[in-house]
Amino acid sequence: MIKSYKTRRQVTNAIVYVVLAVMGIIWVSPLVWMLLHSFRGEGGSTVHYLLPKTYTFDNYIKLFTETSVVNFPRWFLNTLIVAIFACIISTLSVLMVSYAFSRLRFKARKPLINIGMIIGMFPGFMTMIAIYYLLKAMGLTQTLPALVICYSAGAGIGFQISKGFFDTIPRALDEAATIDGATRNQIFWKIILPMSKPIVVYTVLTSFIGPWTDFILVKIIMGDKIANYTVSIGLQTMVSQQYISTYYTQFLAGSTIVAIPISLLFLKMQNYYVEGVTAGGVKG
């Protein structure tokens, strides 16, 4: 009986591992194809073979040197600037709102939490047209500060996971610090945040990824202001009907470069990311 159970368990595990391996190969294969063809020596967008026939670094070199039509370095810098500023503002906003809802008790606390959760249920694209006209009224359309405002102004609504993490930190620490004469501000910066590295890393990653990968909002705000494009619009422009035959391999090289910062951040901070998600989901 025991032997039969072990046999069934081994067979089941083997099937699961095979399925996971196949799914992993399916998931990774487009990325591997993109990486290999970013070094392809043959031009054009039509490919009838799996692996490139020749390899070259020219696609990467041209991406940063031939900027008269496709200014990828400028787009990359625009994206980096917007992502960094939006990440800093959003992270501070989310953490401070989360701490306030977790530790402070005031009359409007429950209604504000409920309102924030309800607003968070609506997809962001529903407000894009309204946001565009508000920015237009303020003269901020087709500017990078407009993107920073859009990505960070409402970040505090995403407080749920961070609040759940702060709820797991014992309140006795706050009470002891208060007895020692510490203010709420000092408790937050000097006690709570140093103990909250996982949720800080999680918030930083999610706040950085949004501006780095967004396309729709940038397209609406920037319009035809090519100089202020981010990499998402820039890469889409490179595969438009007008440029795809010329810039397709450079598009693959640009896509590879864009994926590097996010990949490095996840590889470096994945343990904290997972810990922040799991700990933040314990209490609400």
DSSP single-letter state for residue 142:
T
User: Token pair 């749920």 is at which residue?
Assistant: 160
Of 154, 135, 284, nearest to 221 (Cα)?
135
Task: Give the distance between the most distant pair of CA atoms in the chain.
Answer: 76
Beta bridge partners of 202: none
Identify the pLDDT of residue 283: 47
Beta bridge partners of 40: 55
CATH homologous superfamily for the domain 70-280? MetI-like (1.10.3720.10)
User: Token pair 């422009």 is at which residue?
Assistant: 237
Taking residues 218-226, report their average pLDDT: 88
Residue 16 CB neighbours (<10 A): 10
Identify the pLDDT of residue 177: 86
Q: What is the pLDDT of residues 78-94, one digit of tens each?
A: 999 999 999 999 999 99
Residue 183 CA, distance from chain mean position: 33
Interhelix angle 128-137/144-152, nearest 10 degrees:
130
Distance CA 180, CA 279 (A): 28
The answer to whether 276 touches 161, Cβ cutoff 8 Å, is yes
DSSP single-letter state for residue 25:
H
Whether the per-residue pLDDT at 262 is higher than 90: the answer is no
CA distances from 78 to 49, 94, 146, 158, 176 (A): 35, 24, 12, 25, 45
Distance CA 277, CA 67 (A): 41
Torsion angle of the four alpha carbons 32, 206, 192, 277, in this order, in degrees rounded to the nearest 10: -70
Q: What is the pLDDT of residues 179-218, one digit of tens each?
A: 888 888 888 888 888 888 888 888 888 888 888 888 888 9
State if pTM tops 0.85. no
Distance CA 115, CA 111 (A): 6
Q: What is the pLDDT of residues 125-184, one digit of tens each?
A: 778 888 888 898 988 889 999 999 999 888 888 888 888 888 888 888 888 888 888 888
Amino acid at 171: R
pLDDT band at 43 (very low <50, low <70, confident <90, very high): confident
Distance CA 85, CA 65 (A): 27
Whether the per-residue pLDDT at 251 is higher than 70: the answer is yes
Distance CA 238, CA 197 (A): 39
Of 163, 189, 151, 146, nearest to 94 (Cα)?
163
Q: What is the mean pLDDT of the chain?
A: 84
- For the CA atoms of the chain, what is the radius of gyration? 24
Beta bridge partners of 55: 40
Whether the per-residue pLDDT at 75 is higher than 90: the answer is yes
